[in-house]
Structure 1
Amino acid sequence: MAWVRRLIAAIANTVLVVVFVIGPPAAFVYYDAASILQQLALHDSGDVRPSARQAAPLMIVSIGVLWLLLIASMLVELSGRVRGVKAPRISYLPLHGLASMLVAGQAITLLSPAAASASTVAPPVQPSAVQAAIPVTAATTGHQQDTDAVPTRKPHAFYVVKKGDYLSKIARKNLGNSHRWTEICDLNRHRHFKVGGTLHDCDLIYPGWDLRLPADARSPYGAAPVKPPTTRTPPPVLTPPTPAPSTTPSSPAVASSPSITVNPGVDSPVIGPSARVSPSAPASPSPITSSGPSTSASPAASDSESPQVTIDEHGVQLSPSSWLPWGLALAISAAVVLVWLQRRRHFTGPDDDPPTLLPEPVVTVRRAVARNPRLVRADIDDAETPALGPDLTPLPSGGTGITGDGASAAARAALVTVLASGGPYRADARGEVVIDAATLATLLGSDVVTLGAWSRLHVVDSVDDALTMIESRLLHRSRILDEHALTDLDELRQRVPDEEALPPVMLITDTPPAGARMRAKVALALGGGLDVSALLLGEWAHGATVEVAPDGYTKLVAGQSTEPVPTRLPVLDPAAAIQILTTLREAQTGEQLAIVPSAVPVVVVPLHASRVTPASAEPQLPAGVPAVPVAAAGPVKAKLRVIGSPRIDGIVHDGRALRAKAKELAVFLAVHPDGVETRTIGDNIELDARISQAAQRVHTNASNLRHVLGRAAVLETPNAYVVKSGGRYKLDPATVDVDVWTLRDLMRKATIASGPARRELLTAACDLYTAPLAEGADYEWLAPHRETVRRWGTEAHLLLADCLLDSHPQEASDLLDKAIGLDRYNEALYVKAMHARHSLGDADGIRTLLRALTKALADLDAEPQDDTRSLASKLRTSLEQK
């Protein structure tokens, strides 16, 4: 019946063409538009209002102009179709898109499927673009191939790209492993194809390209590809083995995200506000495989190979046993922002407790979100703190049992998912978890005891206690609904927005024993409409039971579900789950664990480590680099400034400009004063390059940085500025003056100085710190280093304010106002400023400071500490009693 559908489509398209092409002139003739225009122009119609006399001609002329533009656009599109080439997109023809749709629809519906496919300009290498992949050799004679026999492997196989293809899909179909898409990319990189175009970006391929395949490529006829070792094909009941490519992520956890608009002839996709892909270039991005981020400061961390991290359109594969959808990845990425803001809030100085890097899985997820152009990345921005991701509860309401090898991994991911939902301004979406201690210990191990108190994680002693807590929540929510004569929580939130927040609650436990199953059944049945659900480890006879594979794919094995079960659930191994939970807890509570679990390695920020290292009398150069003589004519140091906008001051010689990546390298080397290995630099700066290319790019950027620093020196100094020894790049302290190093040395000396010398050192430090590190930059590795420098600036202002408070309270107050502008989340600055206002007798100023602090901490879903409120009240009272 395919011909019937094509006939109906052809008739429908013909009707549309007739309506748009013949309709306007026919209407003009039928209604005698020329006479109407003449009458209006001569004012012959006395019953026509003046406004109508003006509007009618304009409307008629506008319709005529638009019709002419449509005809011109259709002629351009039709010309391209006849010549077999893509018609150029004419920006000044606003109806070109409509014309293209009409012509393309008419052409496709009138042609057979094979001819329609051939109309996309298939290359002459293959007789039919319908054949997916046919091995082609020099001995090919053109005889008809025997499709009943299994073709042998050929040394030169080709694949003709069809609409909707991407490299990982091609690799899975012809090589048996989607992760081998990089081999296809390498074989075809920079190839010019007969139909036009060159492969520069492996995420961007066009229909008609004949891609070379590796020698072991298999034909799809008869020989089934080998399944990837770490990927399980989901059962056909729930999902097809390979999800169809789409311009929007199809993960159930992702609510919405911008998609990609691909412009033909452009190497990189353009982000657009709507979900559309150019018909002539339907390129879905292929998975990206990276070597894993590395923000480590220690050489040992960079010597070892990082685990492979796979990024595709559905989520992030952290390891064979850990996969996260993009919605959850977004929530974790946003939590990273809140962690650094919470650390700013609690810093009181001096900086004896060094900031530590975040766990590796968290940093990996953050980098993956940044590399995905479809997602809106949560930037670290003082002006606007992003909320956490959408409601991420992945399972249907009520109770769901999970079994299989991936059941525990899915339960760990569900625990993380619920606790990651919501945000500072989304109280109704901050999910809570009720879990018994035995189940939590089973999922996370002995380190679970170090998680500490968490208002959103309720750990009870037994399953009975968990059911009791669930029943109390159900009763409480039912009473609130009854008070307002409502039956639905969503309706309650709309009609009574000021009512108590009632976030989703999930029970995670083993399947209740026989004596408690009926009790659990009743509770979970009532919880379906009250945002109370349950994830039960084991079979659940009173609801759906889902089998979960180690990679997260699901299969409904028993019962029925009123809502669709996700085709794939997120999964996490114990170590990754603990590290992500630790980060989420700090983001929401602001408290760092006193006892860090063994699964969360602690790595000190290298820039902070350089402050506590004793400074040598003379700067030491790496071995093999000759010392640079200091000329008497003047200083030879180039001035690199990374506090504020990164720049090189005092350029006096002509030459090449500083590249963007070279500027990032300058900041990276400035915060690693002891030098960094080439591999570590590439892992952090050259994220989109292969390992072999990253080293060359680092060398090129280092050369450019060295050249521009040389332009800023008074005298030419060879073998200086950026030196390399033992595979490590380093800024030469003898020839480069870095402001952040100066700030470090000032704070190092101020901590041991006293009297006027201490005050002078602190004054110089406060004058130097006037902006955040690398202001305006959003480098993914920058956050911990920016926090370190911010702490130095905050500490300098606090210490100097102590020196000025008794003798110069006005200077201390002005100094603290400046510090609050630089770090508006630090509570210690407000407390010190309240003391300064008290010394000035300014009670209103104390009240203003408390209000400003309360407003700032609302971004973190926090409030001023009770001690701060009590102090403000005490200081105001003492002034009012005078």
Structure 2
Amino acid sequence: MMTRLRGLLALLGLATILVGLPSLLIAVNHIGAPRFGWTWNGLLQALTSPDDGTLLFTVLKLAGWIAWAILTLAVALELISRARNLPVPQIRGLRLPQSMARGLVAAAAALFVAAGTMTAAAPSLAQPQPVPAAAPAHVSVPSDHAARHAPVKSQRADKPSQSKQQRTWTVKRGDTLSEIALETTGRAANYPKLFRASKSTTQPDGRHLSDADLIYPGWKITIPSTASKPVTSRHEPNQRSTKTSTPKLPGPKADTPTASTHRPGETATPSATAGTSGPSATTSSQGADDTTAATAADQSPAWLLSGLAGAGALLAGGLWITLRRRRAVQFRTRRPGRTIATPDPALAPVEKTLHQQGAPTGEIVVSIDAILRRLVATLKAAADPIPALVGVDVTEHHLTARFAHSVQLGEPWTCLDSEDAQVWRVDRDADLDLVGPLESDSPPPWPQLVCLGTDGSGWRLINLEAFGIISFTGNSTYAADLARYLGTELAVSPWARDVEIDCLEVCPELVALDPGRIRHHPASTDIIPNQVAAAIHINERLEGQQSLETARVTFAGDELWASRILICGNAQADDLDVLTELIADQPRRTATAVVIVDDPHGHGGITMRLTDDGRLLAPQLGLDLVVNGLTEDEARGCAALIAAGRAEEGEPMPEPAIAAEPSWASMANAAGALRSGLTLPRSSAQPDASSVLPEPDDTYLARTANTELDLEELAPLVPAHVRARVEAIDPTLDDDLEQWRRQSSARPRVQVLGPIKVRVGSGGDPARAAARMGYYTELVAFLCTRPEGATTAEVADAFGLSDARVRRDMSVVRSWLGIDPDSGHPFLPDAMKAPQAAQRGVGLYALQDVLFDADLFRRLRLRGEARGRHGLQDLCNALELVTGPPFDAMRSRVGVWLSETHLDQHLQCAIVDVAHIVSTIALGADEPDLARYAAELASRVAPNEATPQLDLAAVLAFAGQAGAAAIVARRVATWRDDSGEPPPDLSRRAEQILRTHKWLAEGGKAS
């Protein structure tokens, strides 16, 4: 009601300003008018004659007209900007009237959306229904069956407080408050609620939000609970834990679904829950993905590896983190002009699955490791013994730790069984500094933590080291799949980095994950006697120590307390009884665990039965789970993708196939540099050839961060006829660049060199995509990367849509982008009317005459390098297009199609290489400011690459700042990849540059 009342008053205020005030001024025009008339001479006489009272009226009326003009201008700017979905221009000196206009327009707009907002908010008042336990990651479950068998669980009465329901959004470049409201609440019209909730928040720079149209990158926007999208409820674990020598891991049991199994090597049909990132689908920390609504009724994509989806998504997160860390090392060591090694195209389904499933859960994996490390750091600082951890339950919002004995933990931990004090919970979004300091170099205290599956309590992890012996019985296929899953997880989890894994007659495909830690033994050799000897050694070393965990984290004995696991596929292996008896006799004192894959008779310890319908039953632990598992093919694919990330030499930038019709792309590689066949070596004597770095090599080697190979790769000679072809083949480049820079343009502009964004032209309809802006923006970005066009099937495969959904969404995009005023045709023609469709004889979605910053960048680089010594301006213009890392700020679960082309990687290489060329040219021309600008831009785009850091060191050394250059050079030499491992070896290029310039030595002298 108050919203409507304020809206009516605002409408009345606008009408008064726009209509009432000028009407009043016109009506009183002749009241108190100057007796000499409204001419300049009449006014002059009035000012010089004795005042008869009319002068005051004249001044007041003039002030009224001026005030009306200013307020009308402010209101017009506000209305036009909102209609075109553009930021309101801020006019110096008009802050107060613009603020007044903004408030009136916003309140009036709220009047028209109030009814819709109330209607949209109504469903959130209903109690969310519990979500059924996910199907096994490698089991096919019909979706209608899952719906029929959703278990009904009671909900806890103690709901989170209002303050805990609030979330925050970190502002990124290009964000607006209405866009943030759309992302987080589903309605752009909710932005006043975000504004009011954030006004009292002290921002990182000390300021406060006071203007809804003025927010800065890095600021925190509070999302109030009343505006947030509803979050699917989760089941809470039981609050009791029995204090026994083998503690149970109780939790609510989900109904057993009917499932059809598949054998290793067969293609599994993705489960109905494969699209979720965990045990149940929830809203992400940045609001639900736009793709969720778009794909809710569609099938899972054909490329999805079901073993890494749903219940297995936690492993996907660990694999995703490992892959990204290895690629960071690859980028660190690549040479300019090259790209990092790309995996075999056959591995694209694996990478897509990790991108879609692992990107959201990777953060959960990192937080598990961080919370447990912080807890141990607190206990160690207080000289308390490190307790034996039995297991961990993880949901999107909580981490619950279960210990073998009573423990006492402080804030922010909450005890869930006050009598035994063995079960403790912490909110994952709590201030982790309260948990304890993060000591990333300390040994992980519980390295054998693995996820068995899911139930109503979330992902259920147990500490294999605490139980010692685990035997799988029942369905042998599921037992082997679970063993592969556990071995893979131990190979990539951050807390398991020190675990040594031996596989006896099982899981040979896991060795490629990490040959230094995983060993396969085809038969019973001496591996078990070696395990026995190692276990006896650990047990003897523990004499006089409080516990294995305490000895591990305090480096007792000044040695690493290695953790070992034997995954055994032969229950009758020689000496296996000796090893299992030793582990059973010395519980939690051997740092050794044994997993027996098919053990019908049992070797003691914990027995887990794998049922034919894909569940894991462990009565001793109180577990009834949807089991995890990887087929042999899935495990082999994961291992091959991770192994490809170890290739650090890089490879030449790919050169796409040349189209039949000549274009700039036919002369450039994927990064925009000239194709190899169009250039000459720098040592060539061709007189009409030139280079973008025209001076002799020695000039650049002495002053800049280059090697001879760098110069040969980045600045070869370009013959005159090639230069002429490049300039002639792209005659519209300057005009396209000028249109990109305009405040407004008739053509849509698509930005991917930074946060992805689409700015529609004057003929577009912004309202068409407003409800799912992120989703439709990604569709347009996808089409921009396919200049040859994409079929309906290709779009459906990339986004996991049905064909019918693709056609519907493309129709929305067509209306959103609008009509080209020059040609009269849509910027996205009908599939059968696109020029590319006529050439290929098949319907294609292909954008026409859309400005794409990635293409502009590559076109400018191509022409700049072709122009030789006169190409610097083109290269600088290319860098001006860059606002951040390519395809930045893409939400989780989207952008998987980049795994096919790796365009984001090629563009990152292109940006760094162009910045390196500009920095080299600038230092050669004694322009250190330009050199520093280029180096710092590249550092922001690619913080892991060594080239920008070395360029920055060269700039500092050129400026005489030897100490600062040494600091930067030392960062290059000591860079680490956040894996907890020591710094990787320097690349040969970086080592050669540091040795040539002696920045480290010079810095030492200067200090």
SS at match of 1:311: coil
Please give the alpha-carbon distance, in whole angstroms, between the structure 2 residues aligned to 1:582 and 1:509: 23
Please give the alpha-carbon distance, in whole angstroms, between the structure 2 residues aligned to 1:268 and 1:719: 35
Which of 813, 817, 821 is the aligned partner of 1:702? 813
Contact 1:749 1:761 survives alignment (8 Å): yes
Please give the alpha-carbon distance, in whole angstroms, between the structure 2 residues aligned to 1:749 and 1:474: 66
CA 1:530/1:758 → structure 2, altered by over 3 Å: closer, same or farther? farther
* Aligned residue in 1 for 2:603: 542
Letter in 2 for 1:875: W
* Aligned residue in 2 for 1:762: 875
Deviation at 1:650, TM superposition (A): 8.1
* Aligned residue in 2 for 1:350: 337
Letter in 2 for 1:548: L
1:639-654 correspondence to structure 2 within 5 Å: 639-648=749-758, 651-652=761-762
SS at match of 2:629: coil
CA 1:594/1:244 → structure 2, altered by over 3 Å: closer, same or farther? farther
Letter in 1 for 2:907: V
* Aligned residue in 1 for 2:915: 797
TM-score, normalised to structure 1, is 0.53
Please give the alpha-carbon distance, in whole angstroms, between the structure 1 residues aligned to 2:790 and 2:910: 23
Contact 1:311 1:368 survives alignment (8 Å): no
1:549-628 correspondence to structure 2 within 5 Å: 549=611, 552-554=614-616, 563=621, 567-584=625-642, 590-592=645-647, 613=658, 616-617=661-662
Deviation at 1:878, TM superposition (A): 5.3
Which of 506, 517, 520 is the aligned partner of 1:456? 517
* Aligned residue in 2 for 1:405: 476
CA 1:794/1:693 → structure 2, altered by over 3 Å: closer, same or farther? same
Please give the alpha-carbon distance, in whole angstroms, between the structure 1 residues aligned to 2:255 and 2:789: 36
* Aligned residue in 2 for 1:421: 493
SS at match of 2:486: helix
Deviation at 1:437, TM superposition (A): 7.1
SS at match of 2:142: helix
Which of 764, 787, 800 is the aligned partner of 2:905? 787
Aligned residues: 579
Contact 1:474 1:527 survives alignment (8 Å): no
Which of 356, 376, 383 is the aligned partner of 1:367? 356
Contact 2:793 2:803 survives alignment (8 Å): no
Contact 1:436 1:459 survives alignment (8 Å): yes
Deviation at 1:440, TM superposition (A): 3.7
Which of 973, 976, 979 is the aligned partner of 1:857? 976
* Aligned residue in 2 for 1:521: 580
CA 1:178/1:650 → structure 2, altered by over 3 Å: closer, same or farther? closer
Deviation at 1:672, TM superposition (A): 2.3
Please give the alpha-carbon distance, in whole angstroms, between the structure 1 residues aligned to 2:953 and 2:130: 63
Contact 2:308 2:315 survives alignment (8 Å): no
CA 1:335/1:568 → structure 2, altered by over 3 Å: closer, same or farther? same
CA 1:363/1:648 → structure 2, altered by over 3 Å: closer, same or farther? closer
CA 1:458/1:582 → structure 2, altered by over 3 Å: closer, same or farther? same
* Aligned residue in 2 for 1:876: 1000
Deviation at 1:576, TM superposition (A): 0.6
Deviation at 1:415, TM superposition (A): 1.2
Contact 1:662 1:705 survives alignment (8 Å): no
SS at match of 1:694: helix
Contact 1:436 1:462 survives alignment (8 Å): no
SS at match of 1:506: strand
* Aligned residue in 2 for 1:310: 272
Deviation at 1:267, TM superposition (A): 13
Contact 1:258 1:271 survives alignment (8 Å): no
Letter in 1 for 2:884: A
Percentage of pairs with the same residue: 14
Contact 1:682 1:695 survives alignment (8 Å): yes
CA 1:521/1:639 → structure 2, altered by over 3 Å: closer, same or farther? closer
Show CA shifts across 1:774-809 (max 9, x none).
433326343644333212111222333344454447
SS at match of 1:534: strand
Please give the alpha-carbon distance, in whole angstroms, between the structure 2 residues aligned to 1:845 and 1:264: 47
Contact 1:662 1:704 survives alignment (8 Å): no
Show CA shifts across 1:70-119 (max 9, x none).
xxxxxxxxxxxxxxxxxx9xx9xxxxxxxx9xxxxxxxxxxxxxxxxxxx
Contact 2:308 2:354 survives alignment (8 Å): no
Show CA shifts across 1:615-668 (max 9, x none).
944599xxxxxxxxx9x9998654333323444558445844343033222212
Which of 425, 435, 441 is the aligned partner of 2:502? 435
RMSD: 5.7
Please give the alpha-carbon distance, in whole angstroms, between the structure 1 residues aligned to 2:471 and 2:255: 35
Which of 839, 846, 849 is the aligned partner of 1:730? 846
Structure 1 residue ranges without an equivalent (≥5): 1-87, 92-99, 101-119, 121-161, 172-176, 185-212, 214-240, 249-256, 277-283, 290-304, 379-384, 596-603, 621-629
SS at match of 1:439: coil
Which of 849, 854, 857 is the aligned partner of 1:740? 854
Contact 1:669 1:675 survives alignment (8 Å): yes
SS at match of 1:764: helix
Letter in 1 for 2:338: D
Please give the alpha-carbon distance, in whole angstroms, between the structure 2 residues aligned to 1:594 and 1:820: 21
Contact 2:791 2:845 survives alignment (8 Å): yes
Please give the alpha-carbon distance, in whole angstroms, between the structure 1 residues aligned to 2:330 and 2:560: 27
SS at match of 1:490: helix
Letter in 1 for 2:470: T
* Aligned residue in 1 for 2:110: none
Please give the alpha-carbon distance, in whole angstroms, between the structure 1 residues aligned to 2:565 and 2:959: 53
Show CA shifts across 1:312-339 (max 9, x none).
7748996788874453344345445445
CA 1:808/1:549 → structure 2, altered by over 3 Å: closer, same or farther? farther
Contact 1:433 1:505 survives alignment (8 Å): yes
Please give the alpha-carbon distance, in whole angstroms, between the structure 2 residues aligned to 1:266 and 1:814: 41
Deviation at 1:180, TM superposition (A): 4.7
CA 1:461/1:499 → structure 2, altered by over 3 Å: closer, same or farther? farther
Structure 2 residue ranges without an equivalent (≥5): 1-117, 157-164, 168-184, 186-223, 238-253, 260-266, 282-299, 365-394, 399-427, 429-437, 453-461, 666-731, 740-745, 833-841
Contact 1:412 1:573 survives alignment (8 Å): yes
1:270 counterpart = 2:389:
no
Deviation at 1:824, TM superposition (A): 0.8
* Aligned residue in 1 for 2:60: none
Contact 1:702 1:722 survives alignment (8 Å): no
Please give the alpha-carbon distance, in whole angstroms, between the structure 2 residues aligned to 1:401 and 1:285: 24
Please give the alpha-carbon distance, in whole angstroms, between the structure 2 residues aligned to 1:812 and 1:615: 39
Contact 1:554 1:566 survives alignment (8 Å): yes
* Aligned residue in 2 for 1:846: 965
Show CA shifts across 1:8-35 (max 9, x none).
xxxxxxxxxxxxxxxxxxxxxxxxxxxx
Please give the alpha-carbon distance, in whole angstroms, between the structure 2 residues aligned to 1:593 and 1:576: 25
